Structure 1
């Protein structure tokens, strides 16, 4: 999950408005919704992926690798030596244009269905100086907003307005900054049906893979 019960309590959500169990459920639902509308997930997860070679040096990945532990082509385990394999993944760096594995020195991933198995730690995380990175702050805030909006009918208008004052209008990271304009937010592609939340998530929507229709 991309936010915690403690985060919501710090924003003024009381036990009378929602129990810890209720908040856990809403946080899980919000995180799953974000995964679905963006096409990524934003925390480290251990996974084994089965991929298909296309007779080219590179394989595009469905999620950025944070740490690649094992790569098997058919029945042959491939070396993870950077001199032989380029890994484009997370924590995300400036210029990121999609996750992929590329064999160097003219080697390819032969054509085949599910003939490549990749094991490791995966997720779209941003650089924070640690090996695994962090959940992007905008994703954290979008998760919080989704839960607060779900709770809005259960709370009086004054308390909900007070909790909502924290909403992000500007975000700065080491490499970039952006400012949200309500007028522009209203024109964002509809992801959740809420222009403010959509403006946060639009920055992280996965682009169509190369060659996709």
Structure 2
């Protein structure tokens, strides 16, 4: 066994295979990143990939979409918007407070339901004192006099606005907005998710 191990360590062939495999992997990642940028539409700091999940996508497109959104339905079944930055292009971070303001009737139009989820940069749910990692169409929001709803995205509870609070971690984070059975205005790109505004 020692002799075999020594041969593996000293073999130029084995080392070449390892180096070649590593370079191939890194090249594949770079290519997929280029492909996914070409498929992504970004509006108001939110990115969306309408072609994700389509059975007719080629191998490279499927691989790139799987890297960006590992498990997704076709766009007609579920629309996914993702954001890691506010409306001004600054990275989302828990040391700041944000507001996502939906005008009256401005939640993602759908024939099923919608949800807004906060996660870390890997995509895992984050812990918080109220065990709330998402809000959705069943949440009992407090509305403004004009009918709009402001969702407060911050690390600590907003005074007097706890009902509209979606806690974020005290570090960088990601937001994912989903609409299941999205309406025609989502499918044709007419509907736009509002900007995330940094208020502190």
Higher helix share: 1
Structure 1 or 2, whichever has the larger Rg, is 2
TM over 0.5, yes or no? no
Higher strand share: 2
TM-score, normalising length from structure 1? 0.28
